[in-house]
Structure 1
Amino acid sequence: MKTRSIQRMAMPDAFVILFGLLLVAWLLSFFIPSGQFERTTEGRPTVIPGSFHLVESSGLNFFDIFLSIQNGFISSANLIALVLVMGGAIAVVESTGAINAGIKSLVDKARGRKYLLAIVVSFVFGVVSAIGVGSNAVIAFIPLGIVLARALKLDAIAGIAIVYLGYFSGSAAAVFDPITLGIAQSIAGLPLFSGAPLRVALFFVLLAVTMAYVCRYIKRISDDPARSLMGNQPFSTEAIGSDDENLTFTRRHLVILIFFVACLAVFIYGSLGLGWGVNELSAIFMINGIGSAALARFSPNEFVQMFMKGAKGMLYGAFIIGIAKGITVLMAEGMILDTVVNSIFVPLSTLPSMLGALAVFVFNLFFNFLVPSGSGQAAVVMPILTPLADMLDITRQTAVIAFKLGDGITNIITPTSGVLMSVLAVGGVPWSNWVRFAFPLVCLWTLVGTAFVVIAVLINYGPF
Structure 2
Amino acid sequence: MPDTYVILLFVLLLAAAATYIVPAGTFEREVVEEVERVVPNTYSETEQNPTGFMDIFLALQSGMVQSGGLIFLVLFAGGAFEVVERSGAIKGGILRAVNKTRGKEFWLIALVSILFALGGAVGAVANSIIPFVAIGLIIARALKLDAIVAVSITFGATFAGFNVGFLNPYTVGIAQSIADVPLFSGMMLRIFAFVVIVGATIYYTWRYAKKILKDPAESLVGVLEEGGGDPSELEAPFTVRHKLILSFVALCLAFFVFATIQFQWSIDHMAAFFIIIGIGSGIIAGMDYNKLTMTFLEGCKNLVYGALIIGVARAILIVMENAQILDTFVYALSVPLEGLTPVFAALGMFVANGMINFLVPSGSGQAMIVMPILSPLADMIGVTRQVAVQAYQFGDGFTNSIFPTSGPLMASLAIAGVPWIKWAKWMLPLLLIWVVIAVIMLTVGVLIEWGPV
TM interval, shorter chain, is 0.5 to 0.7
8 Å contact kept, 2:349–2:391:
yes
Write the distance in 2 (CA, Å) between the matches of 1:452 and 1:428. 25
Matching of residue 40 in structure 1 with residue 30 in structure 2: yes
Q: Corresponding residue for 1:302?
A: 291
* Match in the other structure for 1:49: 40
Deviation at 1:47, TM superposition (A): 0.9
Tell me which of 337, 353, 362 is aligned to 2:348: 362
Q: For residues 19-38 of structure 1, what are the structure 2 equivalents within 5 Å?
A: 19-38=9-28
Question: Would you say how many aligned residue pairs link Structure 1 and Structure 2?
Answer: 387
Instruction: Identify the residue that residue 139 of structure 1 maps to in structure 2.
Output: 123
- SS for the counterpart of 2:29 is coil
Question: Residue in 2 aligned with 1:260?
Answer: 249
Matches within 5 A, 1:95-114: 95-111=86-102, 113=105
CA displacement, residues 210-237 of structure 1 (integer Å, 9 cap, x when unaligned) = 5567789999898589xxxxxxxxxxxx
What residue ranges of structure 1 are gaps of 5+ in the alignment? 1-10, 130-137, 172-176, 187-191, 226-242, 387-395, 416-423
Q: 1:329/1:158 Cα in 2 relative to 1: closer, same or farther (>3 Å)?
A: farther
Query: Greater CA deviation, 376-385 or 144-153?
Result: 144-153
Q: What is the correspondence of 1:290-439 to structure 2 with a 5 Å cutoff? A: 290-349=279-338, 358=344, 361-362=347-348, 365-366=351-352, 372=367, 376=372, 379-386=375-382, 406-412=391-397
CA distance in 1, matches of 2:85, 2:443: 47
Query: Quick check: 1:93–1:289 contact (8 Å CA) kept in 2?
Result: yes
Question: 1:152 is matched with which residue?
Answer: 136
TM-score (norm 2): 0.65
1 CA distance for matches of 2:243 and 2:441? Answer: 44
Contact 2:136 2:154 in 1 (8 A): no
Note closer, same or farther for the CA distance 1:278–1:429 as it changes in structure 2 (3 Å cut). farther
Distance 2:445 2:117 in 1: 25
Moved more, 62-71 or 269-278: 269-278
The alpha-carbon deviation at position 58 of structure 1 amounts to 1.8
Q: Does 1:162 align with 2:148?
A: no
Q: Which residue of structure 2 lines up, in the alignment, with residue 5 of structure 1?
A: none
Partner of 1:390: none
> For 1:71 and 1:363, how far apart are their aligned partners in 2?
28
Q: Deviations over 1:279-333 (max 9, x none)?
A: 2332222122222332233322222232223322222222333223323333323
Q: CA deviation at 1:256?
A: 2.5
Amino acid at match of 2:381: L
Normalised TM-score (structure 1): 0.64
Q: 1:330 to 1:115 in 2, by over 3 A?
A: farther
**1:125/1:286 Cα in 2 relative to 1: closer, same or farther (>3 Å)?**
closer
Aligned position for 2:228: none
Please give the root-mean-square deviation of Cα atoms over the aligned residues, in Å. 5.0
Note closer, same or farther for the CA distance 1:359–1:338 as it changes in structure 2 (3 Å cut).
same
Counterpart Cα distance in 2 of 1:71 and 1:335: 16
Q: How far does residue 365 in structure 1 lie from its aligned partner after superposition?
A: 4.1
Structure 2 residue aligned with 1:236: none
> How far 1:108 sits from its partner (Å)?
1.6
- Asked if 1 retains the 8 angstrom alpha-carbon contact of 2:75 and 2:304, the reply is yes
Per the alignment, in what secondary structure is the counterpart of residue 46 of structure 1? strand
Change (3 A) 1:291 1:120: closer
1:201 to partner: Cα distance: 8.9
Q: What are the ranges of 5 or more consecutive residues in structure 2 without an aligned counterpart?
A: 138-146, 167-171, 213-218, 225-231, 357-364, 401-405, 415-419
Q: Which residue number corresponds to residue 4 of structure 1?
A: none
Aligned counterparts, 1:56-75, within 5 A:
56-75=47-66
What is the distance in 2 between the residues matched to 1:25 and 1:268? 37
CA contact (8 A) 1:82 1:282 kept: yes
Q: Secondary structure at the match of 1:372?
A: helix
